[in-house]
A and B are shown apart, each in its own frame.
Chain A
């Protein structure tokens, strides 16, 4: 039925502003999920590539919880070299000019043999090329590689970033010391994944990282198929106890698994933006339908079938969806650079080192964007389409019928809202640890708010109108009109309410988290001055304070007492976990708040050698007080009892603490990572710090920070990790604002006849403008009113369910008026802007023409 299509097209073209806003909203929604997808995919890819950058052809890794004795490698080589290619790796993190880099120590000969697939000189062209290429670049000058102290190579991009040229020397912080490295030259330019990498000889890496005699892992390459399997089983039989042979991907997978919860949160935030944009589409399409009710009614009367009418509306939405997806994809790609930076920064702060220099656009992302865009457009159009087709043909001609039906729908929505809320609660109650279920509950809660809003709007508009009865006819008129035009006002307010609720919820969650962290830092950080060895990233284990220097530092005047700690990374089920070994000043107790275990029992047990685990670790590994945990110590696996669980926000991977004495007994490691100094009465902080710096001058370049400085640093890292959350919720809010503007604009424009009548009855143009602004303002206010309780509920869900399930930590709810300020600002801004254009147009209206038009 070409007439239907022609009607659709002409209508859309006659209302370009409305069309543009609907498209914009949809595009931003699609762009958000696209950008988040690109950012997480790019980071994951960059990380996978960096894992494979060194021994890319490796099929397996030999690993051990506490590193591998290098003699194991020598023995294996003498026994199995004909069968499996083996390449030893010593790696750790080092700092270069404030950036954390992965230092990888290799044996170039073993790496080349692995790349070539064995000792055979006649290999397939591909494998030989990669082996030789790799070596060619890695060891451009073999003699210097082996004999010059501090020689390293790195990717050309990294050289440029650091402003280094071949032959230049630079300072690198490793193993708690400042070292001098010499850049031999660039790695091969076509080698990917090397951006956060510094490559050096295995000897150099052992010396810098203090890993003499030990290897991080042995990479293994075996042929595919049965031959490989038999080599592997022989190899496994030769391994000393404590060593494991694992497929190479499992290391990457495990590391990427660390960010799973973080990724889930990002995705949920991006879906929120899309959800809001679905409302927007619903609004836009239903307006289009409402505006065309006459022509659609006529066409139906002329014989267009129900199915044809539905099809024409849905097709229109589909076109909108396709164009919106396309635009959204483009927009998403262009904003993904920003998001990639934020995501990789957070990953670097919290999980592992990754440098994302390449944006990847996975095919699946394109698919997702299209499905999301078109799907949400169709979903948004479904109700209006059914509405058009629902009644007898001529009913479509009358708007009053539509409004009457809207009132009925509002009552149904009220029921739906209750059902959604109940369902949300039920899901939380029934699901145990699933983060996904948490988000499902959250989305249902938000939808419940959206479903509730039209009823609230109607009720408040009625109440308002009645109250205004005796004061102002204009106000009464304005409010009554809102209630009477629910089919159009309801959706806009619902979308805005949903976005505001999400915004308030996230604000409260972030603020609560911040306050909990602040309180926790206050309680757990008791020393006045903290000294740590320089090194990469916060809390990475490869560093320690020189013991002679430490003695000198402790002799500085004004220090009454001190605590000592040693941090190292140990392998537990599901990846590395930080172990902190603590020795407190005499008479002091650990300041960490316990969430399980009695302080009176836990801390004495801790002193006796039991461990206390952090809340996230206990959650992740399902640990309880009194249970035994097996730790991979330097003297073999040791079972230790868990004496308590403490609150900790330091790592979502989890931490555990044990007494330094017990640690030294098990690890036989006298190293110290950090000390906390307690000032003597009357000593001046600044003076003591100055003395300490003087003592360290020219020695280790230690990081000496006051309690306040360290707390500030912790808070700033916290803020940095939440930037991305903020960006995403502003995107969602932006979509909602666009939706409100679009809906109200359409509504006001549609009402131009009514306004013209009012104007001709004596309403001034200013009065008209005020009327319009009052209406939009009222709707903004209603959305906000609905959003505040919903926002608090959202926050509770985020804190008690989602954060708990994703990261395992408890946050104390912290409410403050300021958390609602953003939402208030958005509501007012969106409402006022939505009214400006109609108000301006109203002032210039051609009254006679507008009246006649209808």
Chain B
């Protein structure tokens, strides 16, 4: 599921409320559960692709989350994350001036009610380097935004979706991805290898008992990517496998929930496992934790909290203070799956606001008695501060 709703909100406010310190605790944004004017994710939606790749402005927040593992011909290995968050400050409506102030003066084109945030991270395994860049922008003047047809989401020159120059010839199945700064930049061509997988109940993913605490959630767990990774201005040819998570809603986590651990694992035989474990403040796992198993043939199987056991076998203490789990043993008895998971680099903590860990991992799995290696991404939220 990647970063859930409140985290995204917290990011925005923290981006502005800053390192100097105020509310980075997730509690601060749990208070904003008032959904006045926004649509709520209450029942499984009707799905229409490719339209649903585009924005859902009736909801308060939404994101496009791409993670993946890359290999260069030299044998060097990389992980990457590119996330776009959309955050609405006000429900849809006329931008800017309220009706009561109806003057003949028109609005500035800079008036906006939506904000976009993007995080970009590269894990350079050989150099043991983890590099993060971020962007913030208002949805105005085309500086940032998202469109459904053709699908595209962007801030400045960071983007995901159908490339503008090829809009006419492509129909939305082939995407490009671009992000970066002077130290690392990435340009990838992306070809989904599977149709969208609906998580939860027909795509409705509940996060707590409260009816509003849910989101619409789908994934494309296997996307073939290839392109260039620029390191300090020098291009490396890379190819690999990526994962797209798409989620939108207007609610938030439950009060007793502290954070979550999210796993997106891609096995060599073509099967994938997604699971998010919602952690309660008392240390227990929330029963709303859930996941999705897709086998090599593409059959989808929802997983509940009871289906899965997670054992933390090691911890890592961040130089910035937080203590994260850093090795896991996972079992899904119902499908005969067992795996050991290990980060490719210990420090893949994003020193953003709020701080979280999101990193590339190696998987040693056995499926129905046969060893199957794999790779994936893990996200750990709610450990720092």
Contact = CB atoms under 8 A, between A and B. Distances in A.
Interface string A463-490: 0000000000000000000000000000
Given A129-B19, A133-B20, A81 B157 contact: yes
A74 B350 contact: no
Contacts of A227: 182
Interface stretch (B110-118, B254-262, B328-336): B110-118
Contacts of B181: 82, 118-120
Contact of B156 (A77, A107, A128, A213): A77
B351 A121 contact: yes
A202 B182 contact: no
Nearest to B134: A121
Interface in A58-92: 70-71, 74, 77-79, 81-83
B22 to A, nearest CB: 7
Interface stretch (A137-145, A614-622, A669-677): A137-145
A74 B141 CA distance: 7
Given A122-B131, A136-B16, A109 B136 contact: yes
A228 to B, nearest CB: 11
Interface stretch (A204-212, A428-436, A796-804): A204-212
Contacts of A82: 157, 180-182, 185
Given A136-B20, A203-B111, A121 B133 contact: yes
Interface residues of B, number: 50
Contacts of B19: 128-129, 132-133, 136
A458 to B, nearest CB: 75
A502 interface: no
B352 interface: yes
Contacts of B15: 109, 112, 135
Contact of A147 (B90, B108, B137): B90
A118 B115 CA distance: 19
B314 interface: no
Given A82-B182, A140-B17, A149-B101, A122 B351 contact: yes
A170 interface: no
B156 A81 contact: yes
Given A70-B141, A146-B113, A213-B109, A133 B18 contact: yes
Q: Which applies to chain A's interface (DSSP): helix, strand, loop or mixed?
A: helix
Given A121-B351, A132-B20, A207 B105 contact: yes
Interface in A29-82: 70-71, 74, 77-79, 81-82
A203 B96 contact: yes
A74 B110 contact: no
A149 B12 contact: no
Contacts of B97: 149
B142 A212 contact: no
B38 interface: no
Contacts of B112: 146, 203
A367 B24 CA distance: 51
Nearest to B230: A82
A202 B96 CA distance: 13
A70 B113 CA distance: 19
A109 B113 CA distance: 14
Contacts of B296: none
A202 B108 contact: yes
Interface in B101-148: 101, 105-113, 115, 119-120, 131-138, 140-143
Contact of B115 (A70, A74, A122, A146): A146
Interface string B43-72: 000000000000000000000000000000
Contacts of A212: 106-109
B183 interface: yes
Given A136-B20, A149-B97, A212-B109, A109 B138 contact: yes
A207 B132 contact: no
Interface string B168-186: 0000000000001111010
Nearest to B142: A74
A648 interface: no
B99 to A, nearest CB: 12
A311 B185 CA distance: 74
Contacts of A149: 96-98, 101
Nearest to A138: B16
Interface string A228-251: 000000000000000000000000
Contacts of B108: 202-204, 206-207, 212
B320 to A, nearest CB: 11
A51 B96 CA distance: 29
Nearest to A139: B16
B89 A143 contact: yes
B337 interface: no
Interface string A740-768: 00000000000000000000000000000
A147 B107 CA distance: 12
Given A70-B141, A112-B136, A201 B185 contact: no
B157 A207 contact: no
A113 interface: yes
A109 B181 CA distance: 16
A119 B133 contact: yes
Contacts of A95: none
Nearest to A546: B104
Contacts of B383: none
A108 interface: yes
Contacts of A204: 108
A112 B136 CA distance: 9
A417 B141 CA distance: 73
Contacts of B115: 146
Nearest to A133: B20
A103 to B, nearest CB: 14
B351 A109 contact: no
A143 B12 CA distance: 10
A121 B83 CA distance: 14
A146 to B, nearest CB: 5
Contacts of B110: 70, 107, 201-203, 206
Contacts of A207: 105, 107-108
A761 to B, nearest CB: 87
B361 to A, nearest CB: 21
B216 to A, nearest CB: 24
A135 B16 contact: yes
A108 B16 contact: yes
A109 B185 CA distance: 21
A70 B120 CA distance: 27
Contacts of A143: 89
B67 to A, nearest CB: 17
Nearest to B97: A149
Contacts of B351: 121-122
B23 to A, nearest CB: 11
Nearest to B137: A109
A452 B375 CA distance: 99
Contacts of A133: 18-20
Interface in A168-210: 201-204, 206-207
A64 B211 CA distance: 55
Determine which residue in B89, B111, B142, B156 has the highest number of CB atoms from chain A within 10 A of its CB, and name it: B156
B109 to A, nearest CB: 7
Nearest to B154: A78
A107 B142 CA distance: 14
A147 B89 contact: yes
Contact of B18 (A71, A109, A132, A146): A132
A142 B23 CA distance: 13
Nearest to B98: A149
Nearest to A188: B20
Contacts of B136: 109, 112-113
A122 B132 CA distance: 7
5 contacts: A118-B182, A132-B20, A142-B17, A146-B138, A203-B108
Given A121-B134, A149-B96, 12 more contacts: A70-B110, A74-B143, A81-B135, A82-B180, A122-B132, A129-B19, A129-B20, A135-B16, A136-B16, A136-B17, A138-B16, A202-B110
The 8 A-B residue pairs whose C-beta atoms are closest, nearest first, are A136-B18, A203-B110, A132-B18, A109-B136, A203-B108, A206-B108, A132-B19, A81-B156
